[in-house]
Copies of this chain bind each other. A is one copy, B any other.
Amino acid sequence: MRKWAKTLLGTLLTSWVLVALFPGTLTAQPSSPKANVILLIGDGMDDVQISIARNYLRGARGRLTLDTLPVRSTVQVLTVDEKNPSRSVYVADSANSATAMATGHVTSRGRIATGAGSDEDLETVAERAAKHGYKTGLVTTSSITDATPASFAAHIKLRICADPAHMVDVEYKGIPLGSCPEDLIAQGGLGSISEQLARSKIDVLLGGGKKHFEVPTESGEETVSELAEQNGFAVVSNLAELRTTPLDQRVLGLFAESTLPVRTLGEAGRSGEKPDPSLLNSLHWYLGSVELPEPMVCVPNPEYGKTPTLQAMTEAALQRLNVNNDRGFFLMIESASIDKQAHARNACGSIGELEQLDETLQSVLAFAQKNPNTLVLVTADHGHAAQIVPYNSLFEQFGAPVFSPGHLVRLTTPEGSGLAINYATNDFLMEEHTGAQVPLMANEAGQGQVPAMLTQPEIHAIIEEHLNLSAAP
* Chain B residue nearest to A15 in the complex (CB): B16
- Closest residue of chain B to A67, judged by CB? B453
Distance from A342 Cβ to chain B, minimum over Cβ atoms (Å): 12
Given A5-B1, A435-B51, does the pair A425, B389 have CB atoms closer than 8 Å?
Answer: yes
CB closest chain-B residue, reference A93: B394
Q: Closest chain B residue to A411 by CB distance?
A: B90
Check if A387 is an interface residue, CB within 8 A of chain B.
yes
Q: Tell me the smallest distance from the CB of A273 to a CB of chain B, in Å.
A: 13
Residues in B neighbouring A398, C-beta threshold 8 A: 172, 175, 428
**In the docked arrangement, what's the CA distance between A441 and B452, Å?**
9
Asked if A419 lies at the interface with its beta carbon under 8 angstroms from chain B, I say yes
One digit per residue, 1 when the CB lies within 8 angstroms of any chain B CB and 0 when it does not, for chain A 200-215 equals 0000000000000000
A387 near B177 with CB under 8 A, answer no
Interface residues in A404-437 (C-beta closer than 8 Å to B): 404-406, 413, 415-420, 422, 424-430, 432-437
Contacts of A246 in B (CB 8 A): none
The reply on A85 being an interface residue by CB < 8 A is no
Q: Which residues of B contact A12 (CB under 8 A)?
A: 9, 12-13, 16
Judged by a CB distance under 8 angstroms, whether A388 is at the interface is yes
The distance in angstroms between the C-alpha atoms of A207 and B17, with both chains bound, is 45
Residue on B with the closest CB to A398? B175
How close is A285's CB to chain B, nearest CB, in angstroms? 6
Q: Could you tell me the distance between the alpha carbons of A93 and B425 in the complex, rounded to whole angstroms?
A: 23
A91: which of B9, B390, B403 is its contact (CB, 8 Å)? Answer: B390
Known contacts A395-B428, A436-B47, A452-B441; is-contact A9 B5 (Cβ 8 Å): yes
Residue-wise, chain A 37-54 has the 8 Å CB interface mask toward B (1 for contact) of 000000000111011001
Is there contact, CB below 8 Å, between B406 and A285? no
Interface residues on A, range: 35 or more
A441 to B74, CA, bound (A): 11
- Contact between chains at B417 and A405 (CB < 8 Å): no
A249 to chain B, nearest CB (A): 39
A49 to B463, CA, bound (A): 29
**A388 pairs with B383, CB closer than 8 A:** yes
- Judge whether B424 and A424 touch: CB under 8 Å: yes
Q: Check A434/B60 contact, CB under 8 A, given A403-B426, A406-B405.
A: no
A230 proximal to B (CB < 8 A):
no
- Interface flag for A399 (CB, 8 Å): yes
Q: Are B425 and A50 in contact (CB under 8 A)?
A: no
> Considering only CB atoms, which chain B residue lies closest to A403 in the complex?
B426
A369 at the interface (CB under 8 A from B): no
A109 close to B (CB within 8 Å): yes
Which residues between 48 and 102 of chain A lie within 8 Å of chain B, taking CB atoms?
48, 50-51, 54-55, 59-61, 63, 67-74, 76, 78-79, 81, 87-91, 93
A74 to B59, CA, bound (A): 16
The reply to whether the CB of A8 lies closer than 8 angstroms to some CB of chain B is yes
* CB atoms of A90 and B419 under 8 A apart: yes
* Chain B minimum-CB-distance residue to A438: B47
What's the nearest-Cβ distance from chain B to residue A451, in Å? Answer: 8
Within 8 Å of chain B (Cβ to Cβ): is A181?
Answer: no
- Contacts A73-B72, A424-B422, A427-B285 hold; do A390 and B433 have CB atoms under 8 A apart? yes
A306 at the interface (CB under 8 A from B): no
Report the Cα distance A190→B78, complex, angstroms.
Answer: 52
Flag whether A23 is at the interface (Cβ < 8 A). yes
Besides A47-B74, A87-B417, A402-B427, 16 other A-B contacts (C-beta < 8 A)? A15-B16, A47-B47, A51-B435, A72-B73, A88-B415, A109-B394, A175-B397, A177-B397, A387-B436, A389-B425, A393-B432, A395-B428, A400-B428, A403-B427, A405-B424, A441-B452
5 interchain residue pairs of minimum CB distance: A388-B435, A424-B424, A72-B452, A60-B88, A405-B405
Interfacial residues, chain A to chain B (CB-CB below 8 A): 1-2, 5, 8-9, 12-13, 15-16, 19-20, 23, 46-48, 50-51, 54-55, 59-61, 63, 67-74, 76, 78-79, 81, 87-91, 93, 109, 172, 175-178, 285, 383, 385, 387-391, 393-395, 397-400, 402-406, 413, 415-420, 422, 424-430, 432-437, 439, 441, 451-453, 455
